[in-house]
Chains A and B, each alone.
Chain A
Amino acid sequence: MTRDEIHQAVVDILSDIVDDVDWASFGLEDNLKGKLESMDFLDVIMELRKLYGIEVPEADYGHFATMKGCIDYLEPHLASK
């Protein structure tokens, strides 16, 4: 997957979880925490597990603070997908 495709994949996951935010136009550097409750964030982790088989250890949760952080973290995991 390219970075654009990974971005779209994250947008799709977030849109299913929180449907009152326009995730497609959400700034790459904007903070996700203000838009996601704790259980929402666990939904993201679960969807990555189900859709792509990615296990995100708790120690790595900090990488998901922004959209760019998500893409950066996922890029090596999804490069071959």
Chain B
Amino acid sequence: MIFKILMGKEEHQRIVITGVGLTAPNGNNLQEFRANVLAGVSGVRDYDIRYFGPTYAGLCDFDALKHQKRKEVRTGTRAGSIACYCAGEALADAGLAVGRDVSPDRVGVFLGLTEHGNVETEEQIYEISQHEYKVSYWSHYHNPRTVANSPAGAVTVNLGVTGPHYCIGAACAAGNLGCVNGVQQLLLDEVDLALAGGVSESPRTFGIFAAFKAENSLAHDAASAATASRPFDAARNGIVISEGGAIFVLERLDHARSRGAKIYGEIVGYHYNSDATDMALPNAERQSQCMRRALARAGLKPQEVSLVNTHATGTVLGDAIECEAIREVFQDCPDTFINNTKGFIGHCMGAAGALELAANLPSFDDRLVHHCLNVQSLDERCQLPNLVLDSPKKVDNFEVILNNSFGMYGINCVLIVKKYHA
């Protein structure tokens, strides 16, 4: 009896991924995304944006009307549309419908955002500039579009979810932190089902491009758009700004098993901390501490990690600093491989962590580690053992993904997902 209770409690405290919905610059579902990553297909393209001019960006081409009404698209935001698409796809993938299979008040929506409101605000300022700056032309949708819970709220309205919803502002660590919040809400028994992940609409306004350029951190002068995003390459010169989203259906294991759910993996560890040193420059010591504490929560040694999916964005300093942090933790791990997903899709900002985790989840089944794209000449400061370059690598055993995400103001979030074993 005691054994049964412990086993039951254990299952109640294990959180699994049972559905994936995503849109990336090179794929609108997990299968398409994974196939394009393995095939080396970039989703980055030439882009010209008002005020700024020609640059590169990763843009998505999902069908917004698949899960939203035309009016929802017109009155909402791009981030909201991405969120509704990803949430709808994730639920469909999990074989669930809110109201039919799970009570609407036991579903929660937890989405990470790098920023929100820039797109709408710039658009409205442009709009009134066309009318002699008369503020009577300012949209009455400005407030619902810019409140910080906007994309998650759009999902609740779209799906009829009446449980909790909020967005997590965590710069470019937000996608991972969205997942962490989903895990925590499930462990607190606030919900039975969490729609968790991150979204980004950032390429839809010029300000982020202009600011990264002013920081000398925007990718430029590449041979082609497809080669512009090149983390770890010696000639890298900055970030490619991208949009996208990834939302996971998370459940407690007992809930998932009771309905015979397909299980992608189990979230066994996480940690999030702060550098407390600089608003933009990362801190290797805090990053490695974050990885070690996530491993400790998971009860894993570094040697047990199959893959470290790096955050590296293609900036000169940021990539080198993360490599320093990884070296400190994984210096003696012959079976741990390392890769990066941004070469294929650019930096999807608040969606990055969740999307990049999704890109690697199929490795539990196919044991393929996708490679880094666009590394023509590896920067010696980014030399790492088992960094997978040039082509995907088949490995003998694939059990654990450690997913890094780091953001401005030194927010770090590491997520660890393990292959599901009953």
Contacts and interface: CB of A to CB of B under 8 A. Distances in A.
B134 to A, nearest CB: 9
B136 interface: yes
B141 interface: yes
A55 B137 CA distance: 11
Interface string A37-76: 0010011001001100001000000000000000000000
A18 B137 contact: no
Interface in B100-121: none
B421 interface: no
Nearest to A50: B137
B140 interface: yes
Interface in B122-173: 131, 136-137, 139-141
A49 B137 contact: yes
A79 to B, nearest CB: 23
Range, interface on chain A = 10 to 19
Interface of A is mostly: helix
Contacts of A46: 137, 139-140
A46 B137 CA distance: 7
A29 interface: no
Interface in A12-35: 17-20
A20 B72 CA distance: 13
A49 B71 contact: no
Interface string B69-89: 111000100000000000000
A43 B75 CA distance: 10
A55 B71 CA distance: 24
B70 A39 contact: no
Contacts of B141: 39
Contacts of B137: 46, 49-50
Contact of B140 (A39, A50, A55): A39
Contacts of A50: 131, 137
The listed residue with most B CB atoms (<10 A of its CB), out of A20, A43, A55, is A43
A18 B75 CA distance: 11
A18 B71 CA distance: 7
B136 A42 contact: no
A19 B140 contact: no
Contacts of B140: 39, 42-43, 46
B136 A55 contact: yes
Nearest to A42: B140
B70 A49 contact: no
Contacts of B136: 49, 55
Contacts of A39: 75, 140-141
A18 B70 CA distance: 9
Interface string B39-79: 00000000000000000000000000000011100010000
Contacts of A49: 136-137
Nearest to A53: B131
Contacts of B71: 17-19
A64 to B, nearest CB: 16
A3 B69 CA distance: 32
16 contacts: A17-B71, A18-B71, A19-B70, A19-B71, A20-B69, A39-B75, A39-B141, A42-B140, A43-B140, A46-B137, A46-B139, A46-B140, A49-B137, A50-B131, A50-B137, A55-B136
Interface of A: 17-20, 39, 42-43, 46, 49-50, 55
The 6 closest A-B pairs by CB, nearest first: A42-B140, A19-B70, A39-B140, A49-B136, A19-B71, A18-B71
Given A19-B71, A49-B137, A55-B136, 5 more contacts: A20-B69, A39-B140, A42-B140, A49-B136, A50-B131
